[in-house]
Amino acid sequence: DFPSGYAGYHNHREMVAELNQTVADHGSLVKLSSIGKSHEGRDLWALKISDNVATDENEPEVLFTCNQHAREHLTVEMCLRIIKQYTDGYATNANIKNLVDSREIWVIPSVNPDGAEYDIATGQFRAWRKNRQGQGTDPNRNWGYQWGCCGGSSGSPSSETYRGPSAFSAPETQRVRDFVNSRVVGGTQQIKTHIDWHTYSELILWPYGYTYNDTAPGLDATQANVFATLGRRMAALNGYTPEQSSDLYITDGSVNDWMWNAHKIWSYTFEMYPKTGSGTSGFYPRDTVIAAQTARNDSAVELFLSYSDCAPRIIGRTC
Ligand SMILES: NS(=O)(=O)N[C@@H](Cc1ccccc1)C(=O)O
Ligand SMILES: [Zn+2]
């Protein structure tokens, strides 16, 4: 379990209990389902939030994924914050009610539960990043677009950025892939926008990560402008630094590149608090920061949801 000073973080059992409590408290707004199993057999939970939640309505869908990287425990708290905002807030906040009524919101609070549990299993943090297959695969180098193309990952199993033996070799990326693929209804991908939550550095990142170029096959200048404009608008609200992810460093096989190329989903990474840290200490802020550092993103998430029907509207275009 988490060491003292970190009890406010949810371990896997506590996270599942929180999801079940949300179903108990807001049964008409949420539907909890498993999209399958992790390598070690833990359920990968997805919570759907919407009015008429049992019906697949013709509404734009939004996906939030958290905890691809095991040690980035603050991101689980961020996904739980989004769930709380858009369920508890429904009855009292008109903006929240409008967004829940007009969208279908999917939240996957832990993509890598095996790694997250391994990181805390001894009661001392292990600074574990990857999943638990063999020496570990980095889920965020295992996605199937430009996998291993460009020096943005490692072929060495011991590496922190090991891409795996093949694209989608990790059960966890396979399950999220299959879920997203399943949201193609009548030939149209219903999920329009996505945020993948990470720590740390306080950044908002967008594709492509595999190339330094702003435009590349499947991503033209107008689309790059939409990514940057919406990214900058969100950064103005949470104080993070907005940039194309390759401005940070080249990555290949990241979730954002696949979401965009395979489905044209406007897919971002948010790197949360802290802005800087000494090595791995930055991954372990005490639980006293959880409330402020998750609520810090409330307005950026609200703006994101408001543009999720048509992100190009941010630059005055129609869909
Ligand atoms: N969370 S992190 O420290 O691992 N940083 C992320 C940053 C990142 C995320 C998405 C695309 C490119 C880069 C990573 O996957 O390397
Ligand atoms: Zn990460």
C-alpha separations of 118 from 27, 52, 69, 316 in Å: 32, 37, 12, 46
- Say how many residues make up the chain: 319
CB 140 near ligand 1, within 6 Å: yes
Cβ atoms of 105 and 45 within 8 Å: the answer is no
pLDDT at 279 over 90: no
Locus of tokens 């372990």: 284
Report the percentage of the chain scoring pLDDT > 70. Answer: 100
Active site residue 104: no
Atom of ligand 1 nearest to the CA of 203: 7
Calpha distance 294→302 (Å, rounded):
13
pLDDT-based confidence at residue 184 (cuts at 50, 70, 90): very high
Is ipTM > 0.95 here? yes
Which ligand is nearest the CA of 160, by number?
1
254 lines ligand 1 (CB under 6 A): yes
- The total of other beta-carbon atoms located within 10 Å of residue 215's CB is 14
Nearest to 181 by CA among 171, 191, 195: 191
125 contact partners, CB below 8 Å, separation of at least 6: 3, 71, 119, 280, 283, 284
Answer yes or no: is the C-beta of 146 below 6 A from any ligand 1 atom. Answer: no
Cα separation values, 12 from 19, 76, 133, 226, Å:
11, 10, 18, 36
Does residue 273 have a cis bond before it (omega within 30 degrees)? no
Q: Separation of 199 CA from ligand 2 center, angstroms?
A: 6
Residue of 223, 185, 198 whose CA lies nearest to 282: 198
User: Per-residue pLDDT tens for 261-276?
Assistant: 999 999 999 999 999 9
Burial class (CB in 10 A: 0-12, 13-18, 19+), 109: buried
- List the residue whose alpha carbon is closest to atom 12 of ligand 1: 245
Residue whose CA is at the smallest distance from ligand 1 atom 13 = 245
Q: So what's the pLDDT on residue 35?
A: 99
Helix axes 298-306, 94-102, angle to 10 degrees: 40
Q: Are 86 and 49 in contact (CB under 8 A)?
A: yes
Indicate whether this model's pTM tops 0.95. Answer: yes
Angle ∠(129,132,136) on CA atoms, nearest 5? 60
Taking the C-alpha atoms of residue 204 and residue 275, their distance in angstroms, rounded to an integer, is: 12
pLDDT tens for 132-142 read 999 999 999 99
Q: For residue 156, what pLDDT is reported?
A: 99
Computed over every residue of the chain, the mean pLDDT equals 98
